Structure 1
């Protein structure tokens, strides 16, 4: 099973493969970006409050290093980072969620149980969660802090929050089919888009 809290085991190779596809001096550029990533991690060390936060900060450092390198080299560096970080993993993330819901006797209960567990094991203490609604019909988890936003802002690229990290959730949420799974999944507001919190809402439709 893939350990999402170890991005170097699943993220780094596909990331560089997509980012440096067709770049003549790819090995040299990668070495440079790896060094810059380590420098960025030194600047965000205090945000690593647990192992889960470490994984998010590592992902952010790689994205910021790529963003800086792309600036002036491509017409839209922000879109390029979004593509190499989000697009290539979107189908995998969506397929994983869809498969779990398809085999669950009660998809809503399975989703909520997974979300509760992810708040602790995947998101960790780099996020500050509040369970606004938590009953048999609906669940609303509210994040008052996002370590992706904190790290991106610290490193001078707050625009990555909305363009990349908020996009990260979309394939997973889109995998939830109300007709098929009997629940609706929404993320109506996020910190990246200017709100002071992110909401993740799940509601039974049957």
Structure 2
């Protein structure tokens, strides 16, 4: 009788182990499905109006853009520190990016911090690989940081700038991307992704926009 009981317990344990394993694989699949891929980023940031062409400019001058005013603004903010941008410049950038190839990667951060959350590291890595691709390399990108609505305006502005800088540092350090090709800007809590839930995690994010301006010739 004791032997039968032991066998039954062993069978029950095996069943529990099997279910647990199945659940683990299910969770892994769900997480993988939520992660953005390099190809998705590449397609989102590649201009649709015309194919990307190799820069033919000489001496490091920018290729002509469809709108000279846009090209002038991009040139003026390249290489600038995030905090050096004026409110007017930030709003001018926000207006321009409306019609540019962009992607909201839902890169989230730890609460009240500029530290990239562990779950968002794969997305940042995918971004690094995409921006290193020959199709995008050399283009100028806006990396815009955002916060949720908690806290004061001045504090959130500073936090959003630090978050944009955090992404830029990761891309420069880990993928060797030219820092001048990444224009970092902070918008604080002024442009919530989910206004209905101002404290939602989705608001603590970074948006990446291709400004469609290449500065150096690609070989």
Q: State the TM-score, normalizing by the size of structure 1.
A: 0.31
Larger RCO: Structure 1 or Structure 2 (Cα < 8 Å, ≥ 6 residues apart)? 2
Taking structure 2 as the reference length, the TM-score comes to 0.30
More helix by share: 1
Q: Rg: which structure is higher?
A: 2
